Amino acid sequence: MSHSYYPIALDLSGKPCLLVGGGVIADGKLDALLAAGARLTVVSPDVSPRIAAFAAEGRITLHRRHYASGDVSGMFLVIAATDDRAANARVAADGRAVGALVNAVDDIPNCDFFAVALVRRGDLQIAISTNGRSPAFARWMRERLDASVTVEYGELLDILGTVRQELKERGPIPIYEHWQAAITDDVLTALRGNDRATAEAAISERLTAAVSAGDVQP
């Protein structure tokens, strides 16, 4: 079995992140980094039309030149995404030297973390990792889950989060079994029919009843 990695979700909101490379590999990293709120700098003499467009829109900072060691200074996270493994290894070494988290694409020894394949439904995120062994398999799994984890699950999470916050403001919250029991077929059917009000009322009623019965977390 390969080395096991500790799965986490990083808060990149407002944090300085560096992406070295401007081709297809680097382009594929943009959306997830920006969706996470990264303050992104891209360094590459040549870039894809999309990277150029993002720079023109002010969504990223772009330096059209070759990488220099000082580029990693002050970065929270560094991704080396060129098509040159030696160059990526140099970026990784520089990043680690300044304490940044580092990912060198398709180069496991020079990675502190792997980017995961992600299925996102609102705040619901399902991350798929193969410990870097097979990105193709991760993508295949993501596509299968993408088809089966439909949009109502994101809405369901939002309702459960809302109800949980309301209950916490009043006191203790129910034990896990009541949360599980509150997610019934009629709730999912209501959400599939875009009837959030009915779904939320049903969940709230069931969980409030559990609180009234005293079946709450200690």
pLDDT at 117 over 70: yes
Half-sphere exposure of 120 (CA within 13 A, CB side): 9
String of b and e for 179-200 (b: at least 16 CB within 10 Å)?
A: beebbeeebbebbeeeeeeebb
45-91 confidence digits (pLDDT tens): 999 999 999 999 999 999 999 999 999 999 999 999 998 999 999 99
**How far apart are alpha carbons 125 and 118 in whole angstroms?**
7
Q: Where are the domains of the chain?
A: 16-115, 152-212
120: which strand partners? 125
159-181 confidence digits (pLDDT tens): 999 999 999 999 999 999 999 99
150-159 confidence digits (pLDDT tens): 999 999 999 9
In the chain, the amino acid numbered 69 is S
Multiple choice CATH, 16-115, 3.10.20.30, 3.40.50.720, 3.30.360.10, 3.40.50.300:
3.40.50.720
- Residue 90: both structure tokens together: 């140099």
Q: What is the mean pLDDT of the chain?
A: 93
Q: How does DSSP classify residue 57?
A: T
Cα angle at 155 between 154 and 156, to 5 degrees? 90
- Residue 165: both structure tokens together: 């916050």
